[in-house]
């Protein structure tokens, strides 16, 4: 039986780090900005450890699962919004619910638990970001250009409604604390360890601009007579190809997952939704450990019970278990020492 929520590993950070890893991309505050207040790591990241029944206490992790868009609870949105002075668009919480990765935290925990249950000598760490991407996106190089974000087909790093300088400083400080925590965990992984960057996305790709009119645009896009006109996304999508044409995902893991889910009539696409772009943190991690990092999108209606775009969603345990079993088995496929 797995033992969750153990304190962080005491193994020295940086031991057995992969070659050519320079750490997470840093995003310093602009010149002249007031120094940010210290950030309590517990405010920005929730870390949960799973160890199999035969795993050595304090042993390095065989699997790291990061959920960078893991702030899925209305209370997390409300708590962050209360800290800001910028005038926010009315009912911006609707965008939060549409855009956050509902179901990804639950799938991450279930996958880690099944991973160590199937391999009792293994350990896994799940890191869930608690910063709503509605304000700042912790899977972005915050200072990438708008052109880079468009090329990557992703939303911006710092949202346009965050206009007060003190808000930008606060959010950057929180993002930096998150990047630091994940970066330390990443550096401490042994060479054989695998990394899962787990996301969920809305069932359909809706064509709206991320601007001050986002809430109205989303409600129009989700109108019953309009919603079905938007393209349906794949059940799952492996985000593996960078702009240079390199495929960075672990091929054996992907093949194992595709076979297992194909038996359930689920399609695992090959980078159909967007590329693994340098404007994202995921790209930095994948480039530093090619063949060991799996960036995966899961369609949200496969996890929610039911899918509700403008509300905090209930995530179905049965739906989660359906995907966690094959995902854990794929991550264990040909795993090293």
Tens digits of residue pLDDT in 176-234: 999 999 999 999 999 999 999 999 999 999 999 999 999 999 999 999 999 999 999 99
* 230 falls within a domain: yes
* 94 falls within a domain: yes
The answer, yes or no, to whether residue 23 has pLDDT greater than 60, is no
Q: Which two tokens stand for residue 173?
A: 């400080």
> What tens digit of pLDDT does each residue of 286-296 get?
999 999 999 99
The answer, yes or no, to whether residue 12 has pLDDT greater than 60, is no
In the chain, what is the straight-line distance between the N-terminal and C-terminal CA atoms, in Å?
A: 21
The pLDDT assigned to 36 comes to: 64
- Is residue 132 within 8 A of residue 68, CB to CB? The reply is no
The pLDDT assigned to 329 comes to: 98
Domain count, the chain: 1
> What tens digit of pLDDT does each residue of 69-103 get?
999 999 999 999 999 999 999 999 999 999 999 99
Q: How confident is the model at residue 153 (pLDDT cuts 50, 70, 90)?
A: low
* 17 falls within a domain: no
Cα(192)–Cα(202) distance, integer angstroms: 33
Residues 6+ apart with CB under 8 A from 132: 71, 76, 77, 80, 96, 100
Cα(175)–Cα(12) distance, integer angstroms: 23
* 9 falls within a domain: no
Tokens 């480039």 belong to 287
* 286 falls within a domain: yes
Q: Which domain holds residue 194?
A: 41-332
* 315 falls within a domain: yes
* 235 falls within a domain: yes
Q: How confident is the model at residue 32 (pLDDT cuts 50, 70, 90)?
A: low
* 143 falls within a domain: yes
CATH number at residue 82: 3.40.630.40
- Is residue 51 within 8 A of residue 2, CB to CB? The reply is yes
- Is residue 67 within 8 A of residue 108, CB to CB? The reply is yes
Cα(261)–Cα(188) distance, integer angstroms: 31
Cα(27)–Cα(111) distance, integer angstroms: 31
């Amino acid at each position: 039986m797995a033992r969750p929520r153990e304190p962080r590993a005491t193994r020295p950070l940086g031991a057995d780090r992969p070659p050519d890893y320079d750490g997470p991309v840093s995003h310093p505050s602009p010149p002249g900005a007031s120094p940010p207040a210290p950030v309590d790591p517990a405010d920005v990241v929730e870390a949960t450890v799973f160890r199999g029944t035969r795993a050595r206490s304090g042993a390095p992790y065989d699997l790291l699962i990061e959920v960078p868009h893991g702030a899925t609870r209305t209370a997390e949105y409300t708590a962050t919004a209360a800290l800001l002075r910028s005038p926010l668009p009315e009912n911006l919480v609707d965008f939060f619910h549409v855009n956050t990765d509902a179901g990804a935290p639950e799938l991450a925990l279930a996958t880690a638990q099944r991973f160590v249950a199937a391999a009792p000598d293994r350990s896994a760490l799940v890191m869930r970001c608690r910063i709503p991407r509605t304000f700042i996106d912790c899977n972005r190089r915050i200072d990438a250009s708008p052109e880079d974000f468009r090329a990557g087909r992703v939303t911006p790093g710092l949202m346009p409604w965050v206009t007060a300088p003190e808000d930008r400083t606060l959010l950057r400080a929180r993002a930096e604390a998150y990047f630091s925590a994940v970066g330390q965990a990443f550096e401490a992984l042994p060479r054989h360890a695998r990394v899962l960057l787990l996301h969920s996305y809305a069932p359909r790709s809706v064509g709206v601009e991320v601007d001050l009119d986002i809430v109205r645009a989303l409600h129009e896009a989700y109108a019953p007579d309009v919603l079905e006109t938007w393209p349906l996304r794949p059940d799952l999508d492996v985000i593996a190809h960078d702009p240079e044409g390199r495929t960075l995902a672990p091929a054996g893991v992907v093949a194992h997952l595709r076979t297992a889910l194909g038996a359930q009539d689920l399609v695992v696409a090959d980078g159909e939704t967007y590329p693994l772009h340098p404007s994202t943190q995921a790209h930095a991690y994948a480039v530093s450990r090619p063949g060991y990092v799996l960036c995966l999108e899961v369609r949200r209606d496969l996890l929610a019970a039911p899918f509700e775009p403008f509300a905090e969603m209930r995530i179905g345990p049965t739906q989660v278990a359906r995907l966690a079993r094959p995902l854990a088995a794929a991550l264990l496929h040909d795993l090293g020492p």
